[in-house]
Structure 1
């Protein structure tokens, strides 16, 4: 049986909050007599655990969901689950060999079996005949998914760790649900927003929504380049004690939004983290790499592998357009933000219609190589909290088409004279955009292909993109699902497997292209390429993304020709820049000034109040004034630690 949610996941009017007991009583009266069942909580979802899952038709589940206005999930009782070894044998007998089953895993916490195969349609069978036969035979709920051509060690590790700790995870989900359905607190209802990072700055993003009932954190990022300002304001009185925070919501997996999330678990937070599945995988990948890079540079990381693992157990996956309760008085829906894979704008419906907030996250209001434009239609909006990275009055970027053509011209020019192109890139987003643009150039025949080396976490990030094709735009999704057309699997893309291989590439006199992390040159393998190749005038250093204040990338963009490079804690090397440097605007995952203004213009319904953040104080103020003048709406651009009453 599939989970069913009442209506179309849009908030419709005011509703009375039901306690868990009232929900259980309502459901119990609707279930036919003679059926054994118990009702449990999986965060906000209502799980019905039964020995007779076939007794629950989709229509019955729909009626129950409509009655209690909650997501209903049918789970098989553990007593009817076949032993996993025997179940694997049954799966081999029922699923045709032509479907090419690659992996099978079982989640005993929810009684679900997932089968990964090359041809899911063959696996499911005509009219779902194989699915039904499997469910009848093995007792487990069965889900069949398409196997990706590219394997992700991160996604595998996340899955294995959560499955190995299924009992603890089930207890955590029940605890989250108990908190959501706790008795209502007496008193007047109100809503406040506190900025705890990325207000008047870029980096360490963190918002806190506080109501008379709840405290919800949105994002928990790191700030590159400034050690003393690397963390959000965890010590602010509104944040303490940490165990009283109801939930954390993550908009997307860039370090300035997720880099410090494990710190919360290090110091005692044990509540849920809500995010999309691709954000979950990318987040873990970057956090583990964050630890590794810090250690390699002789710095002590702010958290450990164990803290990341603790966080993993508390992540609750939420797809776009799926409404869920995250606290007693807050319903949340995630919408496409168009920024990176799985990136989301967060809609919060607070207090039975008291107030509605949209936190934009980082947004791109333009269709890109990878994603559709950010969503602008919401159920209700009173307050919009919007980013303004490129909100300055002159922050206009070329179109994607113009930026792609400029990149093609740079590559053709450098390769024709025997040079190398090396690009500092974020592992997520810009890397994949560049791969698609380079793939287009080489397949067009305009340029003789050379090896494109992917160094850092780029190949792993790309694999995660192929595992979650539903979060890509339609054209790319269709290409990724066809092995022979998958642009990420083209023969010119090669992963740098080791330090020894990197050293071989550095010493090779031939032309090539290198995409390497980190995107702001604040560490990572790009530093090795810069140190070795910056002194050769045949080469070109190509910037395609934002460079924050205090980073090496920003100093180079500002024209510095002699820069100090740390040597892993052993000293400092001075690097003289002789290579060409080009800046290609228009490939950013952020909206420029024009797109930000149009995002607000097209938003439906229109917000009554706009809070501007995610840029320095000057740009925030300029963008706030532009919004106020254009749309006759109240605007503010607060600083960190300021609190605003919203309702």
Structure 2
């Protein structure tokens, strides 16, 4: 067997590029840049004028190619900034122009990025042609986002480091294939016959990838994936793919960098922002509670710098034998179904992560069309026989009724919500219901991470459903900017709310595992006129789950860390219809409609009985080979 290095592979690629592109292109450098090949040229206008040359070259190499100008030919930065501001209409409201000399990119931050881009990208083309800088356009958040600022600052100040990271990643991705016969196996490291610590290990002869790496927030004894299994070797990892930002899927990713993982994280852009927010908050809460956090802020920063954001539908090489494509899952902003294509069609694996097979107020329904599919891994959160979720219309009407009933008796409505997903869904509904006078215009308080998460939503409106996008872009009516909502950011303000009149409170955490929602619960629990309303899934072991089961006496830590006994007298209600998870019937409908039909289905992310029961009904009704794995179990896919 002849082994070829990544350098030899790059040399072969360089030879093809130099022989294909016109000599007048004047290529100065060719190098790996993560999954792409970067071509630096002193005459990029040649390629700009002949777009088909690059298309044909990319097709020939079966690689993604990005063209960058040689530093020696780029226009002066001040002149470039002035040119951009002169070219682009003032209505775009450009807020910042920054330059990355390492990548030859100019980042233009604007409140209306579409006007910066221009019709059919005309302005971007003009900027490239006239300045020889590669323009990147990003949105200025309509609501100020601390997280977006932090992430953008990290990327700006560590451009050189990130370029080195991408070079190392590129060498690993583009190494030659050694084994022609692809054998593939999947190992369950977490969230099989349980909810929490989602983690799948997928190995072939050539590569090793993790799909998700999460925490179990409800389990103090088994909070982490099974990293101690002999099959897991962090040094062999080619990539980590994050389906979405919730901590049970992203919460342990920084931990990998603590133990010297140096590979890429693949996710959507919203997931990078949202997971960073939740991970930093997890560190803060853990330290505040006097517990030991498994990683530090520096590990979160490493995760940000190693993240390669992908758009839905963008096919990307992540290993010599794997092409990755992310598709909309309908769960939360930026959440993705993961499609892994092995070899030359050797095997195709889809991991749903958490998904919603129904259009919601916030998002489009999950994608069902894939080029190829042999194995499907589906969540089973609501996969039980009795897990039928009410319609959105019924759920919204029930919400209106519960709020009105609570307000009429002079009470307060506390809705614990996950910062990402359910919070924004409820905000949109409440905004409409108050505007239409279906509920009284009482104060609606928003506490915890909700405002920060909502700000990130306003940064990425292109990921929202069509109606909401049209409302924001074309009607100029952004429900997230409504004056009906008041942000709360202090303990004193919370106490004033508890002692004040009727109101609605949205607060994190959604499962009452710390955060301001617990402080509100402590203050409101003694009044039977108040209502505690659950609108999201409560993981086994959390305080929220215990309350749902009927527990009314428990202890909560006060602001000084002292244990305080609480006896609840307030009304407790649950509305399942706002869940971002699919019901059993929706899961079955998804599997019936997914194309092509899978040969095998594996169930995960559900309590044991639900995973087993869902697997059984899929096999009986759809005649598909189905399994419900347990944590630590390995299955051969090919």
Instruction: State the partner residue of 1:234.
Output: 227
1:500 CA drift (Å) = 3.0
Bigger shift: 113-122 or 223-232? 113-122
Q: Does 1:33 align with 2:23?
A: yes
1:311, distance to aligned residue in structure 2 (A):
1.0
- Which residue of the partner structure matches residue 153 of structure 1? 146
Q: Distance in 2 between matches of 1:328 and 1:576?
A: 59
Residue 184 of structure 2 contacts residue 636 of structure 2 at CA under 8 Å; is this kept in 1? yes
Which sits farther off after the overlay, 559-568 or 163-172? 559-568
Contact 2:357 2:587 in 1 (8 A): yes
CA deviation after TM superposition for structure 1 residue 136, in Å: 4.0
Instruction: Please name the residue that 2:403 is paired with.
Output: 411
Distance 1:603 1:123 in 2: 38
For residue 24 of structure 1, give the secondary structure of its aligned residue in structure 2: helix
User: 355, 364, 374: which is aligned to 1:382?
Assistant: 374
Match of 2:483 in 1: 491
Pair 1:359-2:346 in alignment: no
**Could you give the per-residue CA deviations for residues 208-246 of structure 1, whole angstroms, max 9, x where no partner exists?**
000011110000000012122111011211212x12211
CA distance in 1: counterparts of 2:558 and 2:624, whole angstroms: 51
Distance (whole Å) between structure 2 residues aligned to residue 142 and residue 136 of structure 1: 11
Partner SS state of residue 485, structure 1: coil
Q: Residues 312-327 of structure 1 correspond to what in structure 2 (within 5 A)?
A: 312-327=304-319
Q: Give the alignment partner of residue 180 of structure 1, picking from 164, 169, 173.
A: 173
Gaps of 5+ in 2: 1-7
| Residue 50 of structure 1: aligned partner | 41
Give the CA deviation at 1:537. Answer: 1.3
From 113, 134, 139, give the equivalent of 2:132. Answer: 139
Q: CA RMSD in A?
A: 1.7
Aligned partners of 1:117 and 1:144 also within 8 Å: yes
The match for 1:169 is 162
Q: How does 1:64-463 map to 2 (within 5 A)?
A: 64-124=57-117, 130-186=123-179, 188-240=181-233, 242-463=234-455
Cα 1:599–1:235 shift into 2, 3 Å:
same
**Whole-Å separation in 2 of the counterparts to 1:245 and 1:496:** 42
Which piece of structure 1 moves more, 549-558 or 106-115?
A: 106-115
TM-score (norm 1): 0.94
Confirm whether residue 21 of structure 1 aligns to residue 14 of structure 2. no
2 CA distance for matches of 1:193 and 1:366? 29
CA contact (8 A) 1:297 1:568 kept: no
Provide the rounded CA distance (Å) in 1 between the counterparts of 2:70 and 2:492: 52
Give the superposition deviation at 1:186.
Answer: 4.0
- Give me the whole-angstrom Cα distance separating, in 1, the residues matched to 2:211 and 2:230: 17
Alignment of 1:593-632 (within 5 A): 593-632=584-623
1: CA distance, partners of 2:180 / 2:53: 37
CA deviation after TM superposition for structure 1 residue 122, in Å: 4.4
Shift of residue 82, structure 1, vs aligned partner: 3.6
Structure 1 residue 419, shift from structure 2 partner: 1.3
CA deviation digits over 1:19-42, x for unaligned, max 9? 433332222221001322122211
Equivalent-residue separation in structure 1 for 2:237 and 2:119 (angstroms):
48
1:112–1:140: 8 Å Cα contact kept in structure 2?
A: yes
The verdict on how the C-alpha distance between 1:521 and 1:155 changes in structure 2, with shifts beyond 3 A counting, is same
Q: CA deviation at 1:613?
A: 0.9
- Structure 1 pair 199–129 and aligned structure 2 pair: CA distance change class (3 A): closer
Q: Taking structure 1 as reference, are residues 122 and 358 closer, same or farther at Cα in structure 2, changes over 3 Å only? A: closer
CA shift for structure 1 position 188: 4.3
Residues 31 and 38, structure 2, Cα contact 8 Å, conserved in 1: yes
- Do the aligned partners of residues 128 and 172 (structure 1) sit closer, same or farther apart at CA in structure 2, a change above 3 Å counting? closer
Match of 2:495 in 1: 503
The count of aligned residue pairs is: 628
**Distance across 1 between alignment mates of 2:587 and 2:452:** 31
Deviations 1:295-347 (A, max 9, x none): 11111211110110111110001111001011111111001111000100101
The CA deviation at 1:112 is 1.5
Structure 2 counterpart SS, 1:228: coil
Classify 1:89/1:630 alpha carbon distance in 2 versus 1 (closer, same or farther; 3 Å): same
What secondary structure does 2:106 align onto?
strand
For 2:463, the equivalent position in structure 1 comes to: 471
Query: Which has the higher mean CA deviation after the structures are superposed, 220-229 or 592-601?
Result: 220-229
Report the Cα offset of residue 144 of structure 1.
3.7
Distance verdict in 2 for CA 1:512–1:76, change over 3 Å: same
Equivalent residue for 2:5?
A: none
Residue 94 of structure 1, CA deviation: 3.4
Distance 2:350 2:61 in 1: 25
| Residue number among 62, 67, 77 corresponding to 2:55 in the alignment | 62
| Shift of residue 79, structure 1, vs aligned partner | 2.0
More displaced stretch, 476-485 vs 41-50 = 476-485
Give CA deviations for 1:447-504 in whole Å, capped at 9, x if unaligned: 2212211111101111111111111110011222358410111101121123332233
- 2 CA distance for matches of 1:349 and 1:124? 33
| Counterparts in 2 of 1:108 and 1:502: CA distance versus 1, 3 Å | farther
Q: Distance in 2 between matches of 1:404 and 1:176?
A: 47
Contact 1:298 1:568 in 2 (8 A): no
Contact 1:297 1:569 in 2 (8 A): no
Could you tell me how far apart the structure 2 residues matched to 1:120 and 1:172 are?
A: 29
Q: Secondary structure at the residue paired with 1:237?
A: coil
Moved more, 147-156 or 434-443: 147-156
In 1: Cα distance, 2:368 partner to 2:108 partner: 36
Stretch moving more, 65-74 or 190-199? 65-74
Shift of 1:106: 2.3
Q: Which runs of 4+ in 1 moved over 4 A?
A: 124-130
Please state whether the residue corresponding to 2:25 is helix, strand or coil.
Answer: coil
Provide the rounded CA distance (Å) in 2 between the counterparts of 1:79 and 1:504.
62
